[in-house]
Structure 1
Amino acid sequence: MHTAIHEGKRRADAQAKERFTDGVSRLPPGCQRAARRAQEAKTHAWLTAMPSCSDQTDLSGDTFRDGLAVRYGYRPPNLPSSCPGCGCTFTLTHALDCAKGGLVIQRYNELRDVIGDVSRMAFGADSVYKEVVLKEGDGQGREEARTDLVIRDVWDRQRDVSFDVCVTDADAPSYAVDEAGVVG
C-alpha cells in the first residue's frame, strides 16, 4: 500500500514538473527566467500568506496584481510611458534600475527599515541605529563613510555590528545566463 501511494505521488510530481517545463518553454525568454527563478527559489509563499494588517500582508488588488507581474516578468498595468525622474521610456527594468525616478531608493529604504524593525524587536529599540556616520568627511574630497544599520549585541554582548543593505534586480540583463551557463 505504501509503495503504491509513494509511486503515485512520484508519478504525479513527474507529470507536474513536465507540465511546468512545457508551460515555461512557451513563455518569452525574460518570463521564462523569472518563472524558473520563482519555482527554484520558492518565492511563491507570499501568494498563500494569510492577509493581515499587523504584518502588512493585506495587499490591495492593484498591489497584488503588480507583484505578480513583476515577479513573473510582465509589465504591470498603468505604468507611465516616460520616467518622471529622467524622461526615458519607462519599462519595468528602468523602474527597478533608475536612480532618479525609479524604485531603487524606495526598495532600499523599505528593506533597510524592515531589517531595522525586526532587529528592534529582537535586540531592543535602543540597540538599533539607522544611517550611522562611521567616519566624517574632511570637506577636501574625502567623503564620509556611512552604514545603513548598526545593531548592538548581534554576535557579542555590547559590540556593535554594521550592516550595509544592497538591493539587486535579479532580472537585470547583466544577470542573464545563456544555455552554456555564461552570464551577460
Structure 2
Amino acid sequence: MTQNSLSRSTTRGTGHSGFTLIELAVVTLLIALFAGLTVPLLSGGGARDLRSTGRRISGMTRWCYNEAALTGLEHRLVFDLQRQVFFAQRLEADGELITLAGPGRERSPAGEAKIKDISISGRGKFSSQTVTTRVLPAGWLEETVIHLEADNKAESTVRLMPLTGISETYDGYREF
C-alpha cells in the first residue's frame, strides 16, 4: 500500500459523524424563515373569514337581484341571527314562500365570522332575530347594512345598495 492510500484510510476510519455548526445554523435559519412567513397567514384568519362572509352575502344578494328581475317575482334575503345562517327565498304569485337551493341555499358565515347586527333603512337595527331584506323585480332592494365580527374582535360592514343590487364591503363597523 502506498503512503497516500494509507493516510486516506486512516482518516476515514477516525471520521466523525454529525453536522457542523454552520450546517446547524443554516437549518435553524431556514426554519425561522418559514415560521416567520407562515404564522402571519394563520393568525389573519378572522379578517379572512370576514372578507369571505362578505363575498358570500354579496354574491347571494346579486343572485337574488338578478333572479327577481328575470322571474318577475319578489325574492328575499333571510338572515337568522340566532342560528347564524342566511339564505334566499322566492315569493310565488300565490303568496307561498319557497326557500331556494343553489346559490340561494342556506349558508353560514365563514370560520370565526359572525353576523353581529343588521340595519334596514326605515325599519331599524336588529341583533337577535330573523331579519328579511326584500328584493323586488323592479330592480330595487331595501338598503341593508350588515355588521360582521370575528372572534379576534375584527369587524367588517357590508352595505347592500337599493337601486343596483351591488354590495360594498368596508373594514370596521360603519353606520350609514
TM over 0.5: no
Question: When you count strand as a share of all residues, which structure comes out higher?
Answer: 2
Structure index of larger Rg: 2
Query: Relative contact order (C-alpha < 8 Å, sep 6+): which is higher?
Result: 2
Q: Please report the TM-score for the alignment, with normalisation by the length of structure 1.
A: 0.27
